[in-house]
Structure 1
Amino acid sequence: MTEHHPWFGSYAPDVPARLGPAGVREVLREEMRDLGFHEELVSARPLLVPPRAAAELYGAAARLLDLLRRALLASGPTARHRMAALGVDESLHPLFTDDRLEERYCGCMARPDAVIGADGPRFLEFNVGGAVGGAVHTHMMTRAWRRVYGPGGVPFDGPSLFGARRRLFAAVCEELGVPPAVALLGTVRDLPGVGSARYFDVEVGHLRRHGFRAEFFEPEELDGGHDPGGGFRFPVGLRHFTVTEWRGHGIDLAPVRRALDAGCLFLAPQTAFLISNKKVLGWISEGLPWMTGADRELVRRYLPWTRVVRERRVVWRGRGHDLGELLVRRRACFVLKKAVGMCGDGVLLGPSTGPAVWERAVGRALREEDSIAQEYVEAGRCAAVVTDGTGSGTRPATIAPLLGPYVVAGKPAGCLVRYFASGESGIVSMYGHGALINVLVAGR
């Protein structure tokens, strides 16, 4: 029997008798309808952890995000210098706006990916920006669990992701001296399994209920947001897209540029995508001259050993090595990741990759200098309960969850959980790998 990691605690709320497994599944299906949700097999309860564990996860995420932001901004005085330091294609970053606003808000929202290693949380990467996946799922599933347990019966504390974003939008509007109005910019074409705009409309509704003027725009509709004087009717926006994805769809970015030039600040701005570049993780893992002792201890405690891949010498576990030779010789200890990528694309796990494939990938990474190598962390296991809603009820499972704590304006904003009911670890993604989802909350 696989041992459960003590970090997760032992909270185990029962399925409410008034609903039963079928009722729980029905609540989840209703709240998650048309959001791209695997409804055949679902979690039968939220993942509850001790309050101190949740506080550690969110606190470390916020501090590391701030360190990554500082590292990126310190790499050069301008966006062009920073792109050069990362070796990225400038054409993939065409939507910069005012430098001051870029720097101020580039880290305003993020979702890192973390597992629980032998000594607690280990952060594998940071996804920064408004396009980070799973945010709506996290908010709506947290809302679903509140419905499941009913008024007065909710056994957890969990932040509202929409609430956190609303407070960010309000603060930005106040700072800019403009009325509270937000444009959500995205497309259902980016969302597998989603056939309507409900994914965006639920947040529009939330904002409107709290006094905002809010509207969702598909990219082709964006020019309709301009007023007769040439300005944009919404001073702030949520940028729910990546340039790469939209170019893949053949979407014209010119309307976005026009909205930016007319004064709309889409959050998070273009610089956020530079912070997401995994090379920045490599920089802080290796250490930068200006990092303090506290910075270095934070990295040592919460980041796996990570290095930018190129022909070089490195120190690993106290000894010097040629990086390429180390990666080939100790394949089972490492993961190779493209510096830019999402949903598990461009990731090779050494422990589950054949030697020939791995060696070719290492050679390619050394030549292209577009990847990082990261020490592999085996994900800790915890108890879960799943149900298919039938008369068979629920069944226990031991899972290796991938945790995605959202940080908005430096504050906790909910935590997505992705896992395989089989207990497998590895590359865990809702899209392409069929992972189930849940949310992590702090037990009361």
Structure 2
Amino acid sequence: MKLHDQWENLPAAHRTRFLNTRIAATDQWPAHELPGWQQPWQPLRPLILTEDAASALGHLAARMIHLAVDACLRRARTAGDLYDLLRYPRELPLLDRDRPLDHAELTACARPDILLSEGTPRFLELNISTAVAATRAVDVLAAAYHDLWDGPHLIPPPSVIEARSAHLAATLPHPDDGPPRLLIPTWTAGGRLPGLDGEAALRAYLRPSADSATRAGLRVIQASLSELRTDHTAVLYAGTDRVDAMLCPFLSDEVSDDNGGLAATARAQRAGTVRLFQSDATSLLSAKAVLAWIHQDIDLLDPADRQLVRDHLPFTLHLPRHHSAAERRAPLAHAAQARERLVLKPSCGHGGHGVVFGRDLSPTQWLRILHEELEHDDVVLQELVDADTLRMPFFSPGQDRVHHEDVAFVLSPYLIGGRSTGLLVRHDAPTRTTNGAAGSTLNPINMANSAFCNTAMLLRPPHAAPTATP
């Protein structure tokens, strides 16, 4: 399977008009949706994939996530079993330890991170959670780009928010008195969402999600987590409104000042009176140790899945911190020998924190950092991917000029209920060298490291019917 940017295959006249119109729209561009967008340079176009390629990527991602859940189920029966096995380093207030692991529940929402290497998708992590960033931005960007395009055959991917609402409407149990009551909460979490630290700003940001869920037939409640309580039967209420289900677009361990709201939600979840989309159990599957487990189990897979893993999942080796010196000997020897082709990552990290590229360090520094990390954390060693780059035009409003540069990028398809929807693309500004074919740095491609949030558009062949999503 090969994926390549199709921008140059679009008609030249349409591309020129598109870029000129995009530059003219700079002052009205939806920058308020995009953390970090207010930079000296702005990307002028999306990544372009064929509709067939995007559909095939969705099928591939869904299968990889299925294999990840299988790997967990071979080792753990409940969410608590998996939490303990991973030695998860943070408390998860909404983790129901006794809840059995379930394929459908654990894969309801995901956004894997993928590099392309000579066009081949290579999965870096799986991000199985509703707390992944940029959900709204992807929809807004795709619609904005589509409005600028005056040619044929270029379409936006399906909306992530609309697909999520449809999935909830189809899968949530209906109470006797009508459609499910869905809480879309606000909360306090300092710094994770730039510009959205206040609950009023969060409510406005989440308004499209509320409107979409209402259109899908759900009864929507918007309230702060600090307003939640349970009655004597462990039914969850937001003020006087009963809550049947709750969207969880947050990391529960980062919530503060909730006034007992998370504890009330946990009580209702354990009693089975509220459904969470998604529970904290999904965060566990994002651990990079799970990728190592897939490799450990490769001989248990059927031939097609074995080939899929070899082709699309960089070799990943789990190093638990509790292993003895004898158990560490072979992995550390491999780490020393293959330093320039390895990346060190926390097993349960996110946001690019703690990622170290072996090629950026001397042999001595590399082994010292590896030993230091193993003193307090489980880590993985992952095969370095020689990443493709994207030729991107950037516009500098302050300088009123266009600059073209090849930048490394990460492609992240959203899957809702196993079906592919929008696509997040993150890439660097033209002023920063990044990990990829052109070199590396200690900073991965992440919005926390000033990477741009962008998206992809789909190229539909003339006279082709819409491609079915997985």
**Please, what TM-score do these two structures have when normalized by structure 1?**
0.85
Is the CA contact (8 Å cut-off) linking 1:182 and 1:213 kept in structure 2? yes
Deviation at 1:25, TM superposition (A): 2.2
State the match for 1:438 in structure 2: 454
Match of 1:295 among 305, 308, 311: 305
Tell me, yes or no, if the aligned pair for 1:312 and 1:323 is still in contact at 8 Å: no
Task: Quote the offset at 1:227 in angstroms.
Answer: 12
Output the amino acid matched with 1:279.
A
Q: Which of 313, 329, 334 lines up with 2:342 in the alignment? A: 334
2:236–2:264: 8 Å Cα contact kept in structure 1?
Answer: no
Please tell me the residue identity of whatever aligns with 1:14.
R
Partner of 2:426: 418
Are 1:159 and 2:158 an aligned pair? yes
Residues 173-226 of structure 1: CA deviation (Å, up to 9, x unaligned):
257886143212343633123251222122112222343322333321334x98
How do 1:148-227 and structure 2 match up within 5 A? 148-149=148-149, 155-174=154-173, 179-187=179-187, 189=189, 190-194=192-196, 196-197=201-202, 198-223=204-229
Matches within 5 A, 1:107-146: 107-118=107-118, 120-146=120-146
Are 2:254 and 1:245 equivalent residues in the alignment?
A: yes
Query: Distance in 1 between the 2:368 and 2:389 partners?
Result: 32
The one of 5, 9, 14 aligned to 1:8: 5
1:363 partnered with 2:360: no
Q: Judging changes above 3 Å, is the alpha-carbon distance between structure 1 residues 37 and 147 closer, same or farther for their aligned structure 2 residues?
A: farther
CA distance in 2, matches of 1:64, 1:407: 12
* Structure 1 residues 378 and 24: CA distance shift in structure 2, 3 A: farther
The Cα of 1:420 is off from its aligned counterpart by 0.8
- Shift in alpha-carbon separation, 1:162–1:392, aligned structure 2, 3 A: same
2:439 counterpart residue number:
none
- 1:227 to 1:215, Cα distance in 2 relative to 1, 3 A: farther
Give the drift of 1:172: 1.6
- Report whether the alignment pairs 1:80 with 2:80: yes
C-alpha separation in 1, matches of 2:365 and 2:100: 45
Q: TM-score, normalised by structure 2?
A: 0.81
Shift of 1:18: 10
Q: Distance in 1 between matches of 2:345 and 2:396?
A: 35
- Which residue in 2 is equivalent to 1:348? 356
Query: 2:394 — aligned with what?
Result: 386
| Map of 1:49 onto structure 2 | 49
1:396 correspondence with 2:404: yes
Give me the whole-angstrom Cα distance separating, in 2, the residues matched to 1:369 and 1:435.
Answer: 27
SS of alignment partner, residue 386 of structure 2: coil
- 3-state SS of 2:163 partner: helix
- In structure 2, relative to structure 1, the CA distance for the partners of 1:138 and 1:286 (3 Å cut) is same
Q: After the TM superposition, which parts of structure 1 deviate over 6 Å for at least 4 consecutive aligned residues? A: 175-178, 225-229
Q: 1:138, 1:438 within 8 Å by CA — same for their partners in 2?
A: yes
What secondary structure sits across from 1:322 in the alignment? helix
Q: What SS class does the counterpart of residue 128 from structure 1 fall into?
A: coil
Partners in 1 of 2:450 and 2:356 — Cα distance? 18
Task: Tell me which amino acid in the other structure corresponds to 1:275.
Answer: L
Residue in 1 that maps onto 2:70: 70
Instruction: Give, in whole Å, the separation in 1 of the partners of 2:286 and 2:44.
Output: 33
Identity over aligned pairs, percent: 25
Measured after TM superposition, the shift of residue 430 of structure 1 is 4.7
Corresponding residue for residue 317 of structure 1: none
Match of 2:466 in 1: none
Question: Which residue number corresponds to residue 275 of structure 1?
Answer: 285
**Equivalent pairs, count:** 429
| Paired residue type of 1:187 | W
Taking the aligned partners of 1:155 and 1:162, their CA distance within structure 2 comes to 20
Task: Give 1:397 deviation, angstroms.
Answer: 2.2
Give CA deviations for 1:42-88 in whole Å, capped at 9, x if unaligned: 22122112233323322211110111112112212223322333233
CA RMSD of aligned residues (A): 3.3
Q: Distance in 2 between matches of 1:169 and 1:388?
A: 41
Aligned partners of 2:206 and 2:300: how far apart in 1?
Answer: 41
Change (3 A) 1:387 1:271: same
Residues 419 and 234 of structure 1, relative CA distance in 2, 3 Å threshold: same
TM superposition shift of 1:387: 1.8
Quick one: distance in 2 between partners of 1:306 and 1:234? 41
* Structure 1 counterpart of 2:161, one-letter code: F
Is the Cα contact below 8 Å between 2:393 and 2:402 reproduced in 1?
yes
- CA drift of 1:371 comes to 0.8
Q: Distance in 1 between matches of 2:100 and 2:118?
A: 41
8 Å CA contact 1:125–1:278 kept in 2: the answer is yes
5+ long unaligned stretches in structure 2: 436-442, 461-470
Q: Residues 10-30 of structure 1, C-alpha deviation per residue, up to 9 Å, x if partnerless?
A: 34552546973443323423x
Distance 1:153 1:227 in 2: 59
Q: Name which of structure 1's ranges 289-298 and 127-136 shifts more when overlaid on structure 2.
A: 289-298
Instruction: Give 1:368 shift.
Output: 4.8
Is the contact between residue 49 and residue 458 of structure 2 (CA under 8 Å) also seen in structure 1?
Answer: yes
Change (3 A) 1:398 1:251: farther
Contact 1:35/1:199, CA 8 A, preserved across alignment: no
Residues in 2 aligned to 1:282 and 1:166: alpha-carbon distance in whole angstroms: 33
Residues 383, 396 of structure 1: 8 Å contact kept: yes
> Which residue does the alignment assign to 2:25?
24
